[in-house]
Chains A and B, each alone.
Chain A
Amino acid sequence: MTSPGSSATTSRLSFLFSSRVLTHLLLVLFAFIMIYPLHWLASSSIKPSNMIFSDTGLWPKEIRLQNYVEGWFGAALPFSTFFINSFVISTLAVIGNVLACSMVAYAFARLRFAFKRVLFAMMMATIMLPLHATLIPQYILFHNIGWVNTILPIVVPKFLAVDAFFIFLMVQFIRGIPKELDEAAAIDGAGPARIYWLVIMPLLTPALVTTAVFSFIWTYEDFLTPLVYLTSMDNYTVPQGLRLFMASTGASAWGPMLAMSLLSLVPLFIVFFVFQRRIIEGIATSGLKN
């Protein structure tokens, strides 16, 4: 390390400054490219269909909210049906995952029982298992008990803690809660059920929120499971509604279709902006898939 002269310091500073500015410029440009498709979706959703491809400016020359009205009633059933179905399924999935996974996680983290190591290893093994390994026999099972074309094949597995990933997330979290709290409660006469509900659950809130947020996002976005199980239109979820719209109108109604596409993303935007920190932290600390 030689001591630089004053002119060298200035030039180095200006170099640093310009490289910082350059970095920011590149990052902003890149961010713009990343966001551009979503911006295009938003601006196209308020353009007349015949101008989507001809009017390529950043802001539409003519605003037409009519697309949303036409889109809402554009498929065989109004989108209110699809939104209600999606919200019912997503809400039940959230409740199921939060309750069932936390119960199981509490047992793995705190209670003593037979075959604990084996069962834990089996639970962990299912995290990596591709969905397709069980898809067909599960379908046959639900078909045979008459659950096809109901929401049960989508919702009931959540109440049976099938998303083992969340169990793992919560086990990790519970292990970080001081055991002295359980013991203090036990001294006051609380059994495992009470300790779970009154001591662990309140302290587990951050992990429960992470689980709830991701359960909602994944269930709401899921296309394959509803596609397989929900066969009549009045049971369709939003992604199925969009697909129905696309298949029935073809290329004739781009404006309304893009309007509904954007609308279908609104619940995700809201969840993302409200729980942004929780989502980023959840991804960063536990590497949640996508």
Chain B
Amino acid sequence: MENVEPVPPPRLRELSARLFRAQGREARSRTPFSEQNAIAFLFLAPWLIGFFVLTLGPILASFYLSLTTYDLFNPPEWIGFDNYRKLLFEDARYFQSLKVTFTYVFISVPLKLAFALGVALVLNRGISGLGVYRTVYYLPSLLGGSVAVAIMWRQIFSYDGVINQFLLQFGIDAPSWISNPDYALYTLVALAVWQFGSPTVIFLAGLKQIPQDIYDAASIDGAGRWRLLFNFTLPLLTPIIFFNFVMQLIGSFQAFTPSFIISGGTGGPADSTLFYTLYLYEQGFTNFQMGYASAIAWILVGIIATFTAASFISAKYWVHYGDQG
């Protein structure tokens, strides 16, 4: 409120306005709409420019470009749906990138959420030092997307890395995980699962909101711990599970930095870590196939939209909102 005080004494015109405004909430509607409208659009101006120039315009341009061949230096040349046809029927590396990305998403997202939920349930049992555990478990999520952590990961899973030094003590001579096409992708899955801390924090917040008297009532009725978990806690937590699932799903489809760093920008070995976005980057910014890359981008948007929509439809059958739980 102190901040309101340095307002200079109102001028005469504003003085008359004060008379109206003194009537409170109703008086607001008497300020001319056109004036408020103009002021509002001044406040909105940055976002409006950004939205049309950097979001909506590019989306439309991207669709147009996906129907052309364009190398940035010669004008775009219309080729209809040829890019899409090539992608879906001829491009083996594109299929490889789909395979890699789907494998990554379908393994890392459930694993990550399972870890996050399990740890959150344990931490929610009124354990002391909750804050410290939460911090330690969250830290990898904060750092996990960085180049530094990817470099570190590459070292840990290399032939003479920490993992293999550890296995060697048990007499196991393991291969280089990073440069073996059978395992390289799973080191990236491990890196994703290592970052289970951020969904954990969200689960913990959701668990806190479950009213304690439900447990008291249920335990008077003699319900055991596991029955409580499956009949009360998990159903009440389904909206949070759903939220985390959708966010992780969308994020995982777009993973880029770890695979770029760990494979040295190639998606190797033998294209085994050729993530979708890596192939997009390669086509767009290494080969300057802007039209082709736009088609790749559009299919990604379609894939993410389809999976998000499917999640929302499935939510009707397993997510409990409000008092139905």
Contacts and interface: CB of A to CB of B under 8 A. Distances in A.
Interface of A: 1, 20, 23-24, 26-27, 30-31, 34-35, 37-38, 40-41, 44, 52-53, 56, 100, 103-104, 106-108, 111-114, 119, 122-123, 126, 128-141, 143, 157, 159-162, 164, 167, 179, 181, 183-194, 196, 198-199, 202, 217, 221, 223-224, 227-228, 238-239, 242-243, 246-247, 254, 257-258, 260-262, 264-265, 268, 272, 276, 279-280, 283-285, 287-290
A289 B315 CA distance: 20
Interface of B: 1, 3-4, 6-7, 10-11, 14-15, 17-18, 21-22, 24-25, 28, 33, 36-37, 39-41, 43-44, 46-51, 53-55, 57-59, 61-62, 65, 72, 119, 122-123, 125, 127, 129, 133-149, 151-153, 155-156, 160-162, 165-166, 194-195, 198, 201-202, 204-205, 220, 222, 243-244, 247, 250-251, 253-254, 256-257, 260-261, 264, 277, 280-281, 284-285, 290, 293-294, 297-298, 300-301, 304, 308
Between B39, B144, B260, the greatest number of chain A beta carbons within 10 A of the residue's beta carbon is seen for B39
Given A137-B58, A191-B39, A246-B151, A283 B198 contact: yes
Nearest to A100: B46
A104 B294 CA distance: 30
A181 B264 CA distance: 56
B142 A113 contact: no
Nearest to A162: B50
Nearest to A186: B21
Contacts of A52: 155
Contacts of A227: 260, 281, 285
A159 B72 contact: no
Contacts of A268: 142-143, 146
A199 B2 CA distance: 9
A236 to B, nearest CB: 11
A138 B14 contact: no
Contacts of A247: 264
B165 to A, nearest CB: 5
Contact of B148 (A134, A179, A265): A265
B139 A272 contact: yes
Contact of A138 (B58, B142, B160, B281): B58
Given A183-B21, A188-B4, A104 B47 contact: yes
A193 B40 CA distance: 10
A37 B143 CA distance: 12
Main SS class of interface, A: helix
A228 B11 CA distance: 53
Contacts of A189: 7, 10-11, 14-15, 17-18
A113 B40 contact: yes
Contact of B133 (A27, A196, A246): A27
Between B41, B72, B145, B155, the greatest number of chain A beta carbons within 10 A of the residue's beta carbon is seen for B155
A279 B197 CA distance: 12
A224 B308 contact: no
A198 B3 contact: yes
Contacts of A143: 72
Contact of A184 (B4, B62, B156, B250): B4
A122 B148 contact: no
A227 B146 CA distance: 13
A133 B301 contact: yes
B24 A183 contact: yes
B295 to A, nearest CB: 10
B127 A23 contact: yes
Q: Considering the complex of A and B, which 6 residue pairs feature the smallest CB-CB distances, nearest first?
A: A160-B50, A189-B10, A137-B58, A284-B205, A113-B40, A261-B148
Contact of B297 (A1, A53, A132, A243): A132
Given A187-B22, A265-B146, A137 B155 contact: no
Given A27-B133, A258-B152, A265-B146, 8 more contacts: A24-B127, A41-B152, A107-B40, A111-B40, A162-B54, A167-B47, A242-B147, A247-B264
B37 A136 contact: no
Contact of B7 (A108, A183, A190): A190
Given A104-B47, A186-B21, A37 B152 contact: yes
Contacts of B293: 136
B62 A133 contact: yes
Given A27-B133, A160-B53, A284-B205, A134 B62 contact: yes
Contacts of B152: 37-38, 40-41, 258, 261
